[in-house]
Amino acid sequence: MKRPRLKRPGSKPEMNASEGLNGRNGESRAQEGKSSRPKILLIDDDPDQLTVFETLLHGSGFEVITAESAKVGARALKQTSVDIIICDIMMPEVSGGKFVRFIRKSPKHANTPIIMITAGGRDFEMDALTNGADLFCDKGEAKKSLITQIRMLLS
Protein backbone atom coordinates (compact mmCIF):
# COMPACT_ATOMS: atom_id res chain seq x y z
CA MET A 1 0.00 0.00 0.00
CA LYS A 2 1.34 3.40 -0.97
CA ARG A 3 1.74 5.85 1.89
CA PRO A 4 0.21 9.27 1.39
CA ARG A 5 2.79 12.03 1.05
CA LEU A 6 2.37 14.87 3.50
CA LYS A 7 2.99 18.36 2.23
CA ARG A 8 5.32 20.21 4.57
CA PRO A 9 4.55 23.83 5.39
CA GLY A 10 6.55 26.09 3.11
CA SER A 11 7.50 23.24 0.78
CA LYS A 12 8.16 24.03 -2.84
CA PRO A 13 5.73 22.93 -5.56
CA GLU A 14 6.45 19.87 -7.67
CA MET A 15 8.44 20.41 -10.85
CA ASN A 16 7.31 19.29 -14.24
CA ALA A 17 9.47 18.06 -17.10
CA SER A 18 8.81 21.11 -19.26
CA GLU A 19 10.09 23.63 -16.71
CA GLY A 20 13.27 21.76 -15.79
CA LEU A 21 15.41 22.14 -12.71
CA ASN A 22 16.79 25.58 -13.33
CA GLY A 23 18.96 26.67 -10.46
CA ARG A 24 21.96 28.86 -9.81
CA ASN A 25 23.77 27.13 -6.96
CA GLY A 26 26.74 24.83 -7.52
CA GLU A 27 28.66 23.93 -10.59
CA SER A 28 29.07 20.65 -12.40
CA ARG A 29 32.55 19.13 -12.40
CA ALA A 30 32.18 17.43 -15.77
CA GLN A 31 35.13 15.59 -17.20
CA GLU A 32 34.13 15.85 -20.84
CA GLY A 33 35.94 14.10 -23.61
CA LYS A 34 35.29 11.30 -26.03
CA SER A 35 35.45 7.92 -24.38
CA SER A 36 34.06 4.46 -24.94
CA ARG A 37 33.77 3.97 -21.19
CA PRO A 38 30.23 4.02 -19.77
CA LYS A 39 29.35 7.53 -18.59
CA ILE A 40 27.80 8.05 -15.15
CA LEU A 41 26.19 11.18 -13.73
CA LEU A 42 26.86 11.19 -9.98
CA ILE A 43 24.77 13.60 -7.88
CA ASP A 44 25.40 14.23 -4.18
CA ASP A 45 25.33 17.41 -2.12
CA ASP A 46 28.25 16.23 0.06
CA PRO A 47 31.59 17.06 -1.65
CA ASP A 48 33.42 14.38 0.34
CA GLN A 49 30.95 11.73 -0.81
CA LEU A 50 31.27 12.94 -4.41
CA THR A 51 35.04 12.47 -4.19
CA VAL A 52 34.77 9.00 -2.62
CA PHE A 53 32.27 7.73 -5.20
CA GLU A 54 34.01 9.44 -8.12
CA THR A 55 37.27 7.69 -7.15
CA LEU A 56 35.49 4.33 -6.82
CA LEU A 57 33.79 4.72 -10.20
CA HIS A 58 36.89 5.97 -12.05
CA GLY A 59 38.89 3.09 -10.58
CA SER A 60 36.30 0.68 -11.98
CA GLY A 61 36.62 2.06 -15.50
CA PHE A 62 33.73 4.52 -15.70
CA GLU A 63 33.69 8.07 -16.98
CA VAL A 64 32.13 10.24 -14.26
CA ILE A 65 30.34 13.59 -14.34
CA THR A 66 29.69 14.96 -10.86
CA ALA A 67 27.04 17.42 -9.72
CA GLU A 68 26.58 18.96 -6.28
CA SER A 69 22.79 19.21 -6.55
CA ALA A 70 19.84 17.95 -8.54
CA LYS A 71 19.64 21.29 -10.32
CA VAL A 72 23.28 21.07 -11.42
CA GLY A 73 22.68 17.46 -12.46
CA ALA A 74 19.73 18.51 -14.63
CA ARG A 75 21.89 21.15 -16.31
CA ALA A 76 24.56 18.52 -16.98
CA LEU A 77 21.93 16.30 -18.64
CA LYS A 78 21.05 19.16 -21.00
CA GLN A 79 24.67 19.21 -22.18
CA THR A 80 25.42 15.49 -22.44
CA SER A 81 23.83 12.09 -22.30
CA VAL A 82 24.81 9.47 -19.76
CA ASP A 83 24.49 5.71 -19.48
CA ILE A 84 23.41 5.72 -15.83
CA ILE A 85 22.52 8.18 -13.06
CA ILE A 86 23.50 7.73 -9.42
CA CYS A 87 21.66 10.16 -7.16
CA ASP A 88 21.65 10.79 -3.41
CA ILE A 89 18.20 10.68 -1.84
CA MET A 90 18.56 13.35 0.83
CA MET A 91 19.59 16.68 -0.68
CA PRO A 92 18.55 20.27 0.02
CA GLU A 93 16.40 22.30 -2.40
CA VAL A 94 15.42 19.42 -4.70
CA SER A 95 15.39 15.94 -3.16
CA GLY A 96 16.69 12.91 -5.00
CA GLY A 97 13.15 11.55 -5.19
CA LYS A 98 11.85 14.70 -6.87
CA PHE A 99 14.80 14.64 -9.28
CA VAL A 100 14.08 11.02 -10.25
CA ARG A 101 10.39 11.79 -10.85
CA PHE A 102 11.49 14.71 -13.05
CA ILE A 103 13.88 12.48 -15.05
CA ARG A 104 11.20 9.82 -15.56
CA LYS A 105 8.98 12.49 -17.19
CA SER A 106 11.74 13.61 -19.55
CA PRO A 107 11.44 11.95 -22.97
CA LYS A 108 15.22 12.14 -23.50
CA HIS A 109 16.19 10.50 -20.18
CA ALA A 110 13.10 8.56 -19.07
CA ASN A 111 14.75 5.20 -19.69
CA THR A 112 18.16 6.03 -18.24
CA PRO A 113 18.92 3.59 -15.41
CA ILE A 114 18.97 5.25 -11.99
CA ILE A 115 20.48 4.06 -8.71
CA MET A 116 19.53 6.05 -5.62
CA ILE A 117 22.01 6.12 -2.74
CA THR A 118 21.77 7.30 0.85
CA ALA A 119 23.54 7.14 4.17
CA GLY A 120 20.08 6.95 5.78
CA GLY A 121 19.90 3.17 5.66
CA ARG A 122 17.59 0.64 4.09
CA ASP A 123 14.50 2.46 5.42
CA PHE A 124 14.68 4.61 2.28
CA GLU A 125 14.70 1.73 -0.20
CA MET A 126 10.96 1.60 -0.86
CA ASP A 127 10.77 5.38 -1.30
CA ALA A 128 13.63 5.24 -3.82
CA LEU A 129 11.98 2.50 -5.85
CA THR A 130 8.53 4.08 -5.61
CA ASN A 131 9.95 7.36 -6.95
CA GLY A 132 11.24 5.56 -10.04
CA ALA A 133 14.77 4.39 -9.25
CA ASP A 134 15.82 1.09 -10.75
CA LEU A 135 17.96 0.13 -7.76
CA PHE A 136 18.86 1.34 -4.28
CA CYS A 137 22.26 1.29 -2.58
CA ASP A 138 23.07 2.17 1.00
CA LYS A 139 26.28 4.23 1.06
CA GLY A 140 27.67 1.97 3.78
CA GLU A 141 27.40 -1.03 1.43
CA ALA A 142 28.39 0.80 -1.76
CA LYS A 143 32.01 -0.35 -1.92
CA LYS A 144 30.76 -3.95 -1.98
CA SER A 145 27.70 -3.64 -4.20
CA LEU A 146 27.53 -0.43 -6.27
CA ILE A 147 29.82 -1.53 -9.11
CA THR A 148 27.93 -4.83 -9.40
CA GLN A 149 24.62 -2.94 -9.55
CA ILE A 150 25.95 -0.61 -12.25
CA ARG A 151 27.26 -3.46 -14.39
CA MET A 152 23.95 -5.31 -14.02
CA LEU A 153 21.96 -2.26 -15.19
CA LEU A 154 24.28 -1.65 -18.12
CA SER A 155 24.22 -5.25 -19.37
Q: How confident is the model at residue 147 (pLDDT cuts 50, 70, 90)?
A: very high
In a domain, 4, yes or no: no
In this structure, what CATH number is given to the domain that contains residue 65? Answer: 3.40.50.2300
| Domain membership of residue 94 as a residue range | 37-154
1 in a structural domain: no
| 10 lies in some domain | no
Tell me the residue length of the chain: 155
Predicted confidence band of residue 1 (pLDDT cuts 50, 70, 90)? very low
pLDDT tens digits, 12-49: 434 444 344 444 333 333 444 456 899 999 999 999 99
Cβ burial, residue 48 (10 Å; 0-12/13-18/19+):
exposed
Specify if 75 maps to a domain: yes
- How far apart are alpha carbons 143 and 17 in whole angstroms? 33
In a domain, 89, yes or no: yes
pTM of the model: 0.76
What is the per-residue pLDDT across 85-116, written as a single tens digit (0 to 9) for each? 999 999 889 989 899 999 999 999 999 999 99
Domains contained in the chain, number: 1
For residue 19, is it within any domain? no
* Residue 22: inside a domain: no
Residue 6 lies in a domain: no
| 22-27: long-range pairs with CB below 8 Å, 24+ | 22/71, 22/74, 22/75, 23/69, 23/71, 23/72, 23/74, 23/75, 23/93, 23/94, 24/71, 25/68, 25/69, 25/71, 25/72, 25/93, 26/67, 26/68, 26/69, 26/71, 26/72, 27/68, 27/72
Q: Say if CB 141 and CB 53 are below 8 A apart.
A: no
